[in-house]
Amino acid sequence: MKLGKRLAEISQLVDNQYTHIWDCCCDHGLLGANLLDKNLDATVHFVDIVPHLMEALDAKLAQFYADKQTLWQTHCMDVAKLPLEGKSGKHLVIIAGVGGDLCGRFIRSILANNPSSDIEFLLCPVHHLYTLRQTLNHHNLNLIDELLISENKRYYEILKVTNNLTVQKHSVSSVGEAIWQYRDEQSYASVKAYLSKTIAHYQRINRGDNDVSDIIAAYEDVKISPKN
């Protein structure tokens, strides 16, 4: 099945350097199946906490990927409890389709429960990006890549980070850096619209005991520029 633009962009950021890939995308296994089709060396782990969804997915995988049965596993469990520590090699944890606050809680738990694992996270939350970015910075995660995409009139930030501090240090900006760079007129329009929408959102909720004026100021300082 053909992936939508958002999942296709996520898939393009997955290469053949991982031993285990954890698909926690709440997308009925579409992304993980696409990764199996790419014939990577990794074991693809499909994760969801809803039993009937995992039972249905398990049956589909057994039907369509019987020839790759050693390369996939299903797990009906809380994403926060992923058992990375017991599996050697490099891990890629993909989390999409949830809010940035929940995404941040998952990451905190995964890092705490698997302190010696080599982990990259590929993230595409639906909102609360500022909160998530601060969480990533708090845990000293290193930015590998970030991009902005639009699909069905919605905007999504995609972030790829690692807990490997031996690579060149590039901390995660609270508001983003590369996502504000444009390639052409179309991407300039998207970047500008997303920035305006983000500022307007925080201006709407900036009242009373919910003072987010510092977040508004941070986004108002963003400079949109052409991509080098």
Do 117 and 11 belong together in one domain? yes
pTM for the whole thing?
A: 0.96
Asked whether residue 208 carries a pLDDT value surpassing 70, the answer given is: yes
pLDDT at 172: 96
Residues 6+ apart with CB under 8 A from 84: 20, 22, 91, 93, 110, 113, 114, 117, 119
Q: Are 46 and 26 in contact (CB under 8 A)?
A: no
The predicted model gives 88-101 an average pLDDT of 96
Do 124 and 11 belong together in one domain? yes
Do 57 and 131 belong together in one domain? yes
The predicted model gives 183-207 an average pLDDT of 95
The predicted model gives 96-119 an average pLDDT of 96
Do 166 and 220 belong together in one domain? no
Q: How confident is residue 1, by pLDDT bands cut at 50, 70 and 90?
A: low
Alpha carbon of residue 186 to chain centroid: 24
Asked whether residue 116 carries a pLDDT value surpassing 90, the answer given is: yes
Q: How confident is residue 169, by pLDDT bands cut at 50, 70 and 90?
A: confident
Average pLDDT, the chain: 94
**How many structural domains compose the chain?**
2
Mark which of 174, 193, 210 sits at the end of a domain: 174
Asked whether residue 226 carries a pLDDT value surpassing 70, the answer given is: yes
Query: What kind and span of H or E run contains 53?
Result: helix 51-64
Domain that includes residue 223, residue range: 180-228
Asked whether residue 26 carries a pLDDT value surpassing 70, the answer given is: no
pLDDT at 228: 81
Mark which of 133, 149, 174 sits at the end of a domain: 174
The predicted model gives 185-208 an average pLDDT of 94
Three-state SS annotation for 77-100: CCHHHCCCCCCCCEEEEEEECCCH
Do 9 and 57 belong together in one domain? yes
Asked whether residue 88 carries a pLDDT value surpassing 80, the answer given is: yes
Q: How confident is residue 197, by pLDDT bands cut at 50, 70 and 90?
A: very high
The C-alpha atoms of residue 212 and residue 207 are separated, in whole angstroms, by 8
The predicted model gives 138-160 an average pLDDT of 95
The C-alpha atoms of residue 77 and residue 49 are separated, in whole angstroms, by 5
The predicted model gives 113-129 an average pLDDT of 95
The predicted model gives 186-200 an average pLDDT of 96
Better-scored residue on pLDDT, 228 or 146: 146
pLDDT at 28: 80
pLDDT at 207: 84
Q: How confident is residue 166, by pLDDT bands cut at 50, 70 and 90?
A: confident
Mark which of 159, 174, 189 sits at the end of a domain: 174
Among residues 99, 95, 104, the alpha carbon closest in space to that of 141 is found at 104
- 28-70 pLDDT, tens digit each: 899 999 999 999 999 999 999 999 999 999 999 999 999 999 9
Do 116 and 197 belong together in one domain? no
The predicted model gives 165-193 an average pLDDT of 92
